[in-house]
Each structure stands twice: as structure tokens, then as C-alpha cells.
Amino acid sequence: MDSPHPYTGRFAPSPTGPLHFGSLVCALGSYLDAVAHGGTWLVRMEDLDPPREEPGAADRILKSLDAHGLHWQGPLEWQSRRHGFYEEVLATLAERDLLYPCRCTRAQIRAAGGHDNSGCRRGKRRDDGSAALRLKSAGGEEIFDDIWQGSQRQHIDDDTILKRKDGLYAYQLAVVADDIDQGISHVVRGADLLDTTGAQQRLFKLLGSQPPQFGHLPLVMGPDNQQKLSKQNHAPAIDDRRASKNLCTALGFLGFHLPAQLSGETPEQILSWAAARWQRRQVDLRNRHLA
């Protein structure tokens, strides 16, 4: 569907834990880029993987966003409520012979020299409901200009899994289908997802949609400066009682030079100040630990 706005952005957290500082930086960057360009900012909960979800995490994330003045416009979407829509997208791809069932492991695919040389891709294996569904997408390059990371060329080495063997819908399917359905024009997110972008862009095109403009922000690293701050690495939850201070720290990470008195303002006042001064070229592109 077409977006009613020239810019529609989104923040799409997974409820595998509460919001941490790295997630706040990503949410803040996507929010400011949307507001500064006169756009709309949406929130979508990517709750597709129940075994990995933490009870109550989704509510905590939403409360943290609200406490920090990061208020979304438009309805809140939950991927767990959109399974019928994902099935419709899969059916569309199947009608065009772009899907096939596959039980291969990565080792088996490497040993076969790729899916072109394996029986499943050539339709020699039947789907009994226990196989993953893969998209016939491997081969060639996807080229795009990232807002912050510059010109990118990504070779598509693998056929993307769109539905897992356990029956859960894959991230790559849901994120692209939802971005199309919500009219997302700009995807601003962390640089850890840069490598997934080529495969997503390929799927956008196969679904007959113009890919959004991608922008990948720098990562907040853990104390060892080797791994990004993440829920998997037990990053501490942000303290909602210190929302103004958290925002100021996140703005500093993104490259803002803040007046000392700003930390005493409300989150709404801080966000208004930052949106009026947001310039993409000012973003500090270094992945780094925030001491």
C-alpha cells in the first residue's frame, strides 16, 4: 500500500527482554530522523518467536518508550496477530513457483554446492509439513545506498528461509511483508542488521514493492568492546526514572553536543530540541562502548 506521508519510519523491537541502552539509541535515531523529515513514526512488536520471548517484556518496552517521550503515531502492530497475512504472502510466492520445502542443514547445502545442486530446490522432495520454506532468491548482488554506511554491494549466497521447520514465520518474511503493508519508506536501525539488508531488498522486489531507504546506526558495544550491547549478552534494562538523563546520554552517543542544562528538561522538551537540530551528517559512526 502507498504511504500517505513522504516519510514513514518505524521501530520494531523484539520482546526478548526489556529496552536497554543500545535499543534506546536505535529507537531515538529512528524517531528523530522521522520527525525531522516531517514523517510518521510507528512501533511494531516483533513477537514471532515465543520460545525466546520474556514474559512481560513487550509491556515493559512500550512503557519505556512512553516514559522517554517516544510516542508512536498510528496503531501499534503485533506480528503474532498477523499470521494469516503472512500465509497470504507465502501463497502469492508459491503461486509464482518461488518457494520450495527444504530440510537441508547448512552443512548439507555446502556439501551439495548450493541449492541448485540439491534435490529440494529442484522440486524432488515433497513437503510433509516438517520442512522449512525457502525463497528462490540466491544468486547475484543487491546494491543500495545506506544513509550512514554508504554504498553497499551484497551477494545473495543463500535461499532465504521464510518459514521455519518448527512452523514459525521467519524474521525475513515478516519484516518485509509488514514494511510493505505499513507503507514504510525509511528503515533506520542498528548496524548489526546491515548484512540482512540485501536479502530483504531482494524479497521486496520479488513482492513487487519498492524497497525503503535503509539507514544503519552505530552500535553501542559491551564493556569488552567486542560484542554489541544486547539482551542476549544480558544488557541491563534502562531506568525509566532517569529518562531525561538517558536521552541526553543517547544523544551524545549519536553525535550531539548538548548544553548542560538540557538534562534538567522533560523528555518531550529534549526530543523537541533534538528534532530541530537533527542532521544525518552529524551522526558519529563509531561502534563503541559508552563508559
pLDDT, tens only, 114-156: 776 667 877 655 556 679 999 999 999 999 999 999 999 999 9
Q: What is the pLDDT of residue 128?
A: 61
Average pLDDT, rounded, for the chain: 92
pLDDT, tens digit (0-9, with 9 covering 90-100), for 46-89: 999 999 999 999 999 999 999 999 999 999 999 999 999 999 99
pLDDT tier at 4, thresholds 50, 70, 90 = very low
Rounded to the nearest 10°, the torsion over CA 238, 239, 240, 241 is -160
Task: Indicate if the pLDDT at residue 216 is higher than 90.
Answer: yes
pLDDT tier at 235, thresholds 50, 70, 90 = confident
pLDDT tier at 104, thresholds 50, 70, 90 = confident
Q: What is the pLDDT of residue 1?
A: 35
Residue indicated by cell numbers 534506546: 24
Alpha carbons 107 and 289: distance in angstroms, whole number: 35
Residue indicated by cell numbers 503515531: 73
The three-class DSSP label of residue 205 is helix
Residue indicated by cell numbers 530540541: 273
Q: Rg of the chain over CA atoms, in angstroms?
A: 20
Q: What is the pLDDT of residue 230?
A: 67
Give Cα separations from 285 to 28, 42, 90 (angstroms). 15, 24, 37
Alpha carbons 283 and 291: distance in angstroms, whole number: 18
Q: What is the pLDDT of residue 232?
A: 63
The domain defined by 8-80+182-197+207-289 carries CATH number 3.40.640.10: no
Alpha carbons 39 and 228: distance in angstroms, whole number: 29
pLDDT, tens digit (0-9, with 9 covering 90-100), for 148-202: 999 999 999 889 999 999 999 999 999 999 999 999 999 999 999 999 999 999 9
Alpha carbons 182 and 268: distance in angstroms, whole number: 26
Alpha carbons 107 and 65: distance in angstroms, whole number: 41
Q: Torsions phi, psi of 77, nearest 5?
A: -100, 145
pTM of the predicted model as reported, rounded to 2 decimal places:
0.92
Neighbours of 129 (CB within 10 A): 8
Q: What is the pLDDT of residue 108?
A: 81
> Shortest CA distance to 42 belongs to which of 5, 80, 74, 2?
74
Residues 6+ apart with CB under 8 A from 73: 40, 41, 42
Alpha carbons 206 and 92: distance in angstroms, whole number: 10
Q: What is the pLDDT of residue 2?
A: 42
Q: What is the pLDDT of residue 221?
A: 87
> Shortest CA distance to 177 belongs to which of 207, 210, 140, 143?
207
Q: What is the pLDDT of residue 117?
A: 65
Out of 39-43, 156-160, 220-224, 286-290, the most confident range is 39-43
- Check: CB of residue 60 under 8 Å from CB of residue 20: no
